Amino acid sequence: MGHYRKHCISFLMSSTCNLDCTYCYVPHWGNTVEPCDRTVDLDFAVAGMKEFFSWAPKPAIRFFAAGEPTVGFKRMTEIVDEGRKLAGDKLQVELQTNGVFNGHIADWVDKNVQILWISCDGPPEYQDKQRPAVNGRASSPIVEKNIRRFAEHSKMQFGCRATFLSENFDKQIAVLDYFRSLGVKYVCGAPAYSSTVNEKTPVPMLVRFAQEFVPAFYHAQKNGQFYQTHLMVNFDEEVDSYCRACTTPVCPQLTSDGHVSCCDWACFGEKYLTGVLQDLVYGKWDKEKKEIVYNDERKANIEARNVKNLVEGDCKGCPIVKHCAEGCIGKVMVRSGGLHKMDPNWCAATRYLAEHIPLNTGIYPVNHS
């Protein structure tokens, strides 16, 4: 299944986080973020769901954050309650989390979430170095505890997302084996990707990541796991666009400061977000009128990032453009400097993977993100 088929409305729940990840791409504003901008407005969420459910293939909602979504746990539960009023038992709930939450939240997740991804960078020596708690303490004990719990959940689609720094690209098999020891079947590996808000992070050697990914991919298959990366999310079939961020209509992402974005990387509105990522924000919540006001020009420009237009631009002549569609809109954009420009690093790594992993074979049982 091509990644662009995964339709959902996302709530970028909170601007607050309980971890201090070394490679975080979100600006660290701390107390400069206004209190009213730190959690998604409930009326805004309901209005967004009503609009999305009116055209979407199914009523699917997803919790993500510019921090950690479970920090806004109370509002999460309220949004799910409102979603069930609109869609009943058909509502599908997805949560992408760092896994640092208590038993009370874990019990709620058990009962209410159908798709769960926990971000964990592998064994404690990697996790605690790259993803320490904000107080400097190790995060691995509670994350591992929650991973073990949900890996045993028979009715939930559960996976782990690991981020690899360039010095750890060759540790992918070790990380897979760690997750297998915890009972995890689905794993997504992501190379750390710097952005305009975190310029100290070096551009990763994506081809080298891909070179290390290939043996890890087949190692996982041999051991009953499925290992994926965002570089190959459309290897299952030819696609029109990379993901739901640029489909027509685009799938909305509601931010904590009252804006509508198309991508996780554009996790705030213009008040906080600077640079090219502002072009990915195409709507704003009018709190007084209780309605979402859209920027039609920006929305159309986002939706125009599709294969039909790409083959006439930077991607002309590329043999796998219909299996790449220029890659992740946010990650590529901060490197290329434009919505319709390609990143040569991303392209080279994707082409390498396409030479070593079969296309059009239906290998994707799940889609992360």
pLDDT level of residue 185 (50, 70, 90 thresholds): very high
pLDDT at 340 over 80: yes
| Residue 261 neighbours by CB distance under 10 Å | 27
Domain around 6 = 1-369
Residues 352-368 have pLDDT tens digits of 999 999 999 887 888 77
Give the residue-averaged pLDDT of 49-68: 96
Estimate to the nearest angstrom the gap between the alpha carbon of 11 and the chain centroid.
Answer: 12
358/107 Cα distance (integer angstroms): 40
Q: What percent of the chain has pLDDT over 70?
A: 95
- The pTM for the full model equals 0.94
Whole-angstrom Cα distance, residue 109 to residue 80?
11
Tokens at 80, concatenated? 């799910």
Query: What are the φ/ψ torsions at residue 206 (nearest 5 degrees)?
Result: -60, -35
Count of domains forming the chain: 1
pLDDT digits (tens, 9 = 90+) for 285-309: 999 999 999 999 999 999 999 999 9
Measured over the CA atoms of residue 315, residue 321, residue 335 and residue 28, the dihedral's sign is positive
Distance CA 150, CA 13 (A): 22
23: nearest Cα among 235, 194, 185, 224? 194
Kindly report, residue by residue over 93-138, the tens digit of the pLDDT: 999 999 999 999 999 999 999 999 999 999 999 999 999 999 999 9
pLDDT, tens digit (0-9, with 9 covering 90-100), for 147-166: 999 998 878 999 999 999 98
Beta strand pairing status for 259-261 and 253-255?
Answer: antiparallel
Q: What is the per-residue pLDDT for 31? A: 63
Residue 205 above 90 pLDDT? no
List C-alpha distances in Å: 138 to 102, 106, 225: 15, 19, 27
Find residue 14's DSSP bridge partners.
39
Q: What is the Cα–Cα distance from 161 to 159, expressed in whole angstroms?
A: 7
Give the CATH number, domain containing residue 361: 3.20.20.70
| % of residues, the chain, pLDDT over 90 | 74
Strand partners, 189: 162
Nearest to 230 by CA among 215, 209, 254: 209
- Taking residues 36-59, what's their average pLDDT? 96
